[in-house]
Amino acid sequence: MNVVALIDHAILHPTATDNALVEGCELALKLGVASVCVKPYMVARAQSLIGDSPVGVGTVIGFPHGSNATIVKGAEAEQACIDGATELDMVVNVANVLSGNWEYVRADIAAVQLIAQSHSAILKVIFETDYLDNKQIIELCNICTDLQVDFVKTSTGFGYTKRESGDYNYTGATIEHIRLMLENVSGNVQVKASGGIRTYQDALTLAEMGVTRLGTSASQAIADGGTGESY
């Protein structure tokens, strides 16, 4: 299994500079990943660097907390597509998910989906599973199945929570959450795992479960860990 071809190579850290973008796009082309996922202001430059290759250019909407007003998310999505993005990873409004305001959450997703569809762009909906319980994850899966978005996605990789030690960290994609998401979407909705995927074995395990995209910045390490046809 070519797990590298499932990777959305992330160039999203606040400190990632334009030089990091160039290096990341070069790596993406060398490895043959599915796409680069870049910060919104980087989209046009990334598109020029990727050119006509099979590697897609994606960006994030309402990142990382999903708290932007829906009209702002829509404007962000529209500009991203104008700049050349072919994939949009939007964050749900986490606070409204936690509050059970499902009508707002559905409308928020649907508004961005409408723009994505108008540009023939792929839409991935980020749940930020570190903050959610299983019932909330299932309800989001139900909404995304009803809307038939392209992907549901676990995490931003920036969903930090305070631990008992007092430090802040995140968990990201877990086997439990991936299984739950796979079991509760249907139709054309696929699952993207993101957050904490660092090794070839991590990637292979998730792919064998049925995940069809992997969000990570550890693309080279994953590629280095594969051998033979599994590379």
Known catalytic residues are: 89, 153, 192
Q: 206 exposed, middle or buried (CB, 10 Å; 0-12, 13-18, 19+)?
A: buried
On whether the CB atoms of residues 32 and 60 are closer than 8 A, the answer is no
Distances (CA, A) of 41 to 2, 20, 68, 215: 31, 14, 17, 19
Phi/psi of residue 118, each to 5°? -65, -20
HSE of 193 in the Cβ direction (CA atoms, 13 Å)?
A: 27
